[in-house]
Structure 1
Amino acid sequence: MNQVRRGSGRPWTALSAVAVSLLILGAAPAATGAPPAPHPVGASGTTLHALLDSVVAVGVPGVLERTQDGRRVISATAGVADLGTGAPLRPDARFRVGSITKTFIASVVLQLVGEHRLALDQPVARWLPGLLADGEHITVRELLNHTSGLYDYTDDPAVLAGLVNNRVWRPAQLVAIAESHPALFPPGSAWGYSNTNYIVAGLLIEAVTGHPLAQELQQRIFTPLGLTHTSFPSITGRITGYHAHGYLPAGLATTANGEPTDVTGLNPSSAWAAGAIVSSARDLSRFYLALMDGRLIGPRLLREMTTTVAEDPADPATYRYGLGIERVQDPCGTDWGLGGAIPGYQTMAYWNQSTGRTVVLASTMDPAPAAAQAPLANAASFALCGPTNGTQNDLPRHEGEPPY
């Protein structure tokens, strides 16, 4: 299968490769090409404390990490939740998760498949006639694994302009922007990351159920799993409850004092089903554990979800994409999850197939300074694989949080 790559929503891989896009859901240009070579975990004596502190030291306001290994949970934070108040960042902060939203959306679609209300290999036009010019040839599966060939609407300058002006977009408008561009390739002939796929998937859920997407997410996932810090505020920038503020770096946006710009209040309508969920590290960990344990979708549908295509034909083993979930092969084994980026926030959440360990790592600046990428990647590696190369397996600053 050929490949058209523009970044997979992966701010850092499960282990350590760095592939950050500039505002993946609304800015340009996105990262292209294969991810750079992995960074090693730090020199002898490095601790998770030091790795997170080094992220903050280069200008990222806050960063948090949560690891769950069986019933043992350890969390660590560095920096502040709000530059305006200087309040320290706590492990229970809510934050925008960006493209991790896609795993939630794919899970709902697969539940509908299990209820025989959808079929993965039938064309999208069966449920959404006239929405896509090629809707008779694009299947539901091709939406979920990014092989549809649909142009990514976030690459159109109008979306960035709308983001700057805090415009509220309707999902159909985003699809129309994508449809105004030629397809990237014939359906099923290549892999190419496109946020448009998940806008269409969200519309598909609404068409099949007759309910708003937010209602289906709440009833099918948030409430049953007890994800009390997770929500889908798709047209308002307000984040309820205790949350971390998200920032653009100084210099990317104009501010009176030359400080990073607080973009927490930007409405996420340009992301919608591709990236508008707000969550917490605990809730993301709970979600991926339930998903991979088969509590959200049955074994047959979980096999469908984890049937993957290569993101890069030149390296078919390392990064592969399933139905709303990514498989990353690294020295720790096989990891399943996603990374996400949205203005002000970068997040990753992965579950290790060998150990059952889940790791969530989130930071509050997107795009992050280049100097932050190595410590972010090293913190992910440290958390997911444990200490290597002489690192100390230190006790993080927070421990004993209830795992469920």
Structure 2
Amino acid sequence: MNPIPVRVRRAALAAAAAALLIAPAGTAGAVFAHGATAAPTPTPTTTAPVAADDTPFPQLTPAVAAKLDAAIAKTLRETKVPGAVVGLWAPGKGSYVKTFGVSDKATKAPMATDMNFRIGSETKTFTVTALLQLVDQGKVGLDDPIGKYVAGVPNGDRITLRELAGMRSGLYNYSEDPDFDKALLAGQTFTPQQLLDYSFKHGVQFAPDAEFEYSNTNLILLGLVIEKITGRPLRQVINEDVVKPAGLRHTLFPTGAEYPRPHPQGYTDDGGKSVDATDWDPSWAWAAGAMISDLEDLRSWAKTLATGTLLKPATQAQRLAVKPIGGIPGAGYGLGIFDVQGWIGHNGSLPGYESLTVYLPQERATMVVLLNTDSLVDGQEPSTLFGEAITSIVTPDHVYPGKKEPLTRPR
């Protein structure tokens, strides 16, 4: 595994609702657009209700597509993102699927819609889904203490699986530990227990459920719970029990640094210098961010995740019972999922890549954004800037994330 810069390490896997930062970006670069607006989808037999004060989702006509083209191209220039894949779908309103920029800065090969991407923290949605399936099977309880399954966890007799999935455990984020930095920069690969060791030496940051604080440590623990209950490796559980039943064909939890082709090269920032991070081993992310997917699979997963296809209705209701995270009106975090201005899903950031996969239930609309860089723009996630540019046009009453003030990025 290539060494990962400290700045990148702190940014990776930290993309969550509390990190949605919006402010004008200011630099420009070249842009190339590819693809075309797809034919409209059939009108559904029933439609979800739209709030009386909401602007209806527009037909994705050539005129609307032209506005999206311009907004996305402008965002690409300002953020200096090498390439982007954007998908937008709404029943009865059509679809918008296009690529922008390049997949490889050296060869100038264009981005393509069939490329695989590392999806970072979107992995959390799969890990928590696997956990909730075990809840449905009566094998675990959301209010079970983590100490019942994993020994040595600070406050382990008080912190519940629900609080881990909801980012309210109070456990220190291992990826903020200075010794973790050193090991990562030395190119070490990690076991889940090694990751936990970096966290546990810091003790707890606050009492269970007292606050929201995004921490990758929470997901490492949930991954271990899943392995203990099932007796199978986490990757096998997710690939067989979540990915396969969801009908996803190009989504996987890898065993190491493997990365199916075709895929774009991914670029990250190292002290102001762009570095190719394509083949970096994601072992340090594991249950919190190691997975790979593509545009069409994420389109399908957005709806599956938001509507709870793989879960019992009561369990899905608990998942979607979001609690405010502060800083962004209309934003909350549930169980491995966020709701920001009505858009339900998750985003992801891993060295070289960012993703955003969200679903707006009342319009049954889906938005997927895939980028081949995680380099911040004035401290902001580029995927958030793309999301804001798109939703400002198609859902002005549900702009993602809906607040133009700097917030503290979770660690």
CA distance in 1, matches of 2:132, 2:18: 30
1:101 aligns with 2:123: yes
Alignment of 1:134-145 (within 5 A): 134-145=155-166
1:52 aligns with 2:72: yes
Offset of 1:46 from its aligned partner?
Answer: 7.1
Aligned residues: 351
8 Å Cα contact 2:82/2:102 also seen in 1: yes
Q: CA RMSD in A?
A: 3.0
2:261 to 241, 259, 276: 241
CA distance in 2, matches of 1:161, 1:50: 43
Spell out, residue by residue over 1:373-398, the C-alpha distance to the aligned partner (whole angstroms, 9 max, x if none): 68x54542354464478xxxxxxxxx
Residue aligning to 1:273: 287
1:283 to 268, 286, 297: 297
Offset of 1:262 from its aligned partner?
Answer: 0.7
State the TM-score, normalizing by the size of structure 2. 0.78
Offset of 1:351 from its aligned partner?
Answer: 0.5
Spell out, residue by residue over 1:40-94, the C-alpha distance to the aligned partner (whole angstroms, 9 max, x if none): 9xxx997222233334434321111111212744211111112232211001211
Unaligned 5+ segments in structure 1 are 1-20, 254-259, 390-404
Residue aligning to 1:341: 349
8 Å Cα contact 1:150/1:197 also seen in 2: yes
CA distance in 1, matches of 2:163, 2:246: 28
CA distance in 2, matches of 1:33, 1:335: 14
Residue aligning to 2:339: 327
Offset of 1:122 from its aligned partner?
Answer: 1.2
- Aligned residue type for 2:221: V
Offset of 1:274 from its aligned partner?
Answer: 0.6
Residue aligning to 2:400: none
Offset of 1:134 from its aligned partner?
Answer: 1.7
Q: Which moved more, 1:44-53 or 1:225-234?
A: 44-53
1:223 aligns with 2:244: yes
Per the alignment, do residues 32 and 90 of structure 1 end up closer, same or farther by CA in structure 2, a change over 3 Å counting? closer
Alignment of 1:287-366 (within 5 A): 287-312=301-326, 317-329=329-341, 334-366=342-374
Q: Which structure carries more helix by proportion?
A: 2
8 Å Cα contact 2:125/2:305 also seen in 1: no
Per the alignment, do residues 299 and 76 of structure 1 end up closer, same or farther by CA in structure 2, a change over 3 Å counting? same
1:23 aligns with 2:40: no
Offset of 1:109 from its aligned partner?
Answer: 0.5
Q: Identity of paired residues, percent?
A: 32
CA distance in 1, matches of 2:307, 2:17: 33
8 Å Cα contact 2:116/2:264 also seen in 1: yes
Offset of 1:165 from its aligned partner?
Answer: 3.0
State the TM-score, normalizing by the size of structure 1. 0.79
CA distance in 2, matches of 1:125, 1:157: 26
Residue aligning to 2:387: 380
CA distance in 2, matches of 1:154, 1:365: 20
Q: Secondary structure at the match of 1:91?
A: coil
Q: Secondary structure at the match of 1:249?
A: strand
Offset of 1:37 from its aligned partner?
Answer: 5.7
CA distance in 1, matches of 2:131, 2:170: 19
CA distance in 2, matches of 1:37, 1:30: 13
